[in-house]
Amino acid sequence: MFALAALAGCTSGGTDAAGDGEAAEEQTTQAAAAPGDLEGVENFYGEYGDFVTVTAAIQAGEVTAEELEFPWVAQQDHVDAAMGWDGTNPVYELSPPAGGNHLSVWQTCNGSVYDAPLVEGNAVHSMEHGAVWLTYDPELVDQAHVDALALLIGTRDYSLMSPYPGQGVAISLQSWGNRYQTEDPADPVIEDYLDTYILNERYNPESMATCSGGNTATAG
């Protein structure tokens, strides 16, 4: 927390994620807080709560992925492996996404800090492996806070960070099926989220699959 704590005093006054605009509100109104974890975290597993439980329910025939409120929490296909794939990258319901069908190569996520936006389908694959993806809106976060966040991410395996222009909220952390957004780049919950959701076997479909040797290119 040292990097964020050092900058806490210079954070400009902001509002919490609930006031981030109509688009963000539309995406979040149906997502419940993660049960038993961190206050303010959005959980997209609905009544099932986590990946382990929803997968068991699907395998038991109690529900299909398509019947879930957010079907993408149970969708893990590699779209570029499909016969006849036309090169179109997956499009996601959330921006940034927090799960769903993705590309077959993950984004390298060994505490990896990128200075340009990522191809979402690669980053989603990283989250499938148990990583947390921190994104920031470069219009809303100054360079001092970007540098502090980069120090925080750089010390943690199974994490990655990149700008996400037009995100509409200063900071968004996403892992498979969960998300936390804040207007405060020095919010202490950022570090708590990393501690809680990196390699969390309740939520991550392939926790401990490698973060090394993936894609290192950016989208632009």
Give the count of beta carbons closer than 10 Å to the beta carbon of residue 24: 19
pLDDT over threshold 70, residue 17: no
Please list, residue by residue across 147-177, b when 16 or more beta carbons sit within 10 angstroms of its beta carbon and e when fewer do: ebbbebbeebebbbbbbbeebbbbbbbbbbb
- Looking at the predicted structure, is the pLDDT value of residue 32 above 60? no
Report how far residue 203's alpha carbon sits from residue 130's, in angstroms, rounded to the nearest whole number.
Answer: 8
For the beta carbon of residue 25, count every other beta carbon within 10 angstroms.
12
Q: What are the sequence ranges of the domains in the chain?
A: 17-76+94-197
> Is the model's pLDDT at 1 over the cut of 90?
no
pLDDT tens readout for residues 132-176: 999 999 999 999 999 999 999 999 999 999 999 999 999 999 999
